[in-house]
Amino acid sequence: MALSKAPLCYTLAAAVSAGAACRSSSTSPSAPDGGVAPAPRRVSVLGDSLAVSPSRSQNFATELQARLNATHPGWTVNNQGVSGDTTTDGVRRMDAALTSDTSILVLELGANDGLRGASIATVEKNLSTIIERAQARGIRVLLCGMETPPFNGFNYSLEFHRVYPRLADRYHLPLVPFLLDGVALNPDLNGDDAIHPNAAGARAIAAVVWPYLEPMIASVPAA
């Protein structure tokens, strides 16, 4: 996530969290012999620096992998987080990021758009494009909501907030209302920059995401 603005810890208190959780489903393709092919068992995380903090080897995606290893062995998390990425970057990268065996996309983008004051219409269009392309490939999407501090005015922050539940309703997606719920503003869960999660923060983010991801995993037929 870009660090060109004032510290997030002083301003995220103005953000509000809301969400909607909806179910989506997909069918497995038929195998060439006429049987049913095993369902893909990969979760791809398309995100920004929040997905690779505090490090590439320890982050909320690796924490999700540990939970899957313990409860749903055989599933793999493919972490496609890139520091500084915006929703525009996500559109550009998504086709390469979503491998053919991807069953679920965890869409974690928008924080940098908000910090840079990208137009709300652009953010919504980009996220819609990613969602529609994923759904067209039979990939279910878990949308991770984000808030933005009022660097660009309170109305901007409010309209930014509304994008995520609106998309969840439009595309019938489960929604994590706020990815950093309980993590933002907590010095014990963030690094020295007060923005990016430390190891404990990564575990806390995984705990926020898990109640929405696990039912999606459980609904996929066993291989």
Positions marked active-site: 49, 193, 196
What whole-number distance in Å separates Cα of residue 106 and Cα of residue 176?
10
**Residue 71 and residue 66: Cα distance in Å, rounded?**
9
CB contact at 8 A, 16 and 161? yes
| Structure token pair of residue 82 | 């890139």
Q: How far apart are CA 50 and CA 202, in angstroms?
A: 9
In b/e form, how buried is each residue of 17-33, taking b as 16+ CB within 10 angstroms?
bebbeeebebeeeeeee
Residue 64: which of 219, 222, 183, 212 has the closest Cα? 212
